[in-house]
Amino acid sequence: MRLNHCANGRHYKYNGRMSLSGWVCLVTGASRGIGRGIALQLSEAGATVYITGRQETTLKQTAAQVKERGGKCVPVICDSTKDKDIEDVFEQIKREQKGRLDLLVNNAYAGVQAIFENMGVKFWEMDPSIWDSINNTGLRGHYFFSVHASRMMVAQGRGLIVTISSMGGLRYLFNVPYGVGKAACDRLAADMAVELKGRGVASVSLWPGAVQTELVSQFVLEKEKTQGVDNKFKEVFANGESTEVSGMCIVNLANDKHLMSLTGKVLLTCDLARRYGIQDIDGRTVADYTSLKFLLSQVPYLSWLSVVVPSFLRLPRFALTLASNRF
């Protein structure tokens, strides 16, 4: 039985059957935020975790936290917009792990600051270079990492690729480049799954909920007023999930005997938390932003109903597709 360490000193018990001992994992953009949380959880489950990022200082901070929890982590400086950097990461893994790679998590993302600095600004009013700021790392980089990872996984006949995305791929959220990028991430995961399925490699897209990352705290929660951010928006993040929930979901997903039945799908952390009985590191239930209770709370004249509606009533998943209004 392994123990997850909580910020408040409590320990969250990890199911002993969820061991990733012997696994070799790669998490991109793990110097902070969701990537760091994923690396911490994978290492606690027993995996050797390679982590990438552009800043040596923050990468080493993640590695130090992994070590404090008894895990094994290999920090590698890598700019996800540079093809040679990406190639070098995989050459290092091949050399050090005898060609083995079990899991890739496409998480690197460089657009958060640009997004929050341009909240409420229309796309034609922005410098068009914001497209590159948001999508060079968080889309193009994902494709390049996936190509190299797939070559290793196909050769060994097994593997899992998880691409971190969001509901912004379904409905408008933040701005145009963000939504286009996230929709493309979902399609990337789905189309890779088609070509990889016969090779024993699964590919899924993972949608975390509102996550309390360091940058969200800096640009949303700690500021009294942020352009384009109302109190409802701030409240959602104030009650959001920790950066480690995605990691707990991935550990359980990697151990799922029915993993290949999920390949190509968009998976929500709230759904996986319910499927695997996961609670956040502080013991909270992982918030479900598709629950009728939450949706009603966001509509001023219907918010009173959220008090009486049970939390288990959820929007059917097929309704999410209908909500896209594309047909």
pLDDT-above-70 percentage for the chain: 74
Q: Decide: 36 and 70 in contact? Cβ < 8 Å.
A: no
What is the pLDDT at residue 3? 42
pLDDT digits (tens, 9 = 90+) for 224-267: 555 555 565 556 556 668 899 999 999 999 999 999 999 999 99
What is the pLDDT at residue 225? 58
What is the pLDDT at residue 96? 98
pLDDT digits (tens, 9 = 90+) for 89-118: 999 999 999 999 999 999 999 888 888 888
- Active centre residues (catalytic): 178
What is the pLDDT at residue 10? 41
What is the pLDDT at residue 282? 84
Q: Is the pLDDT of residue 221 over 70?
A: no
Greater pLDDT, 209 or 180? 180
What is the pLDDT at residue 7? 43
Report the mean per-residue pLDDT for the chain: 84
What is the pLDDT at residue 213? 62
Lowest mean pLDDT among 112-121, 153-162, 220-229, 280-289: 220-229
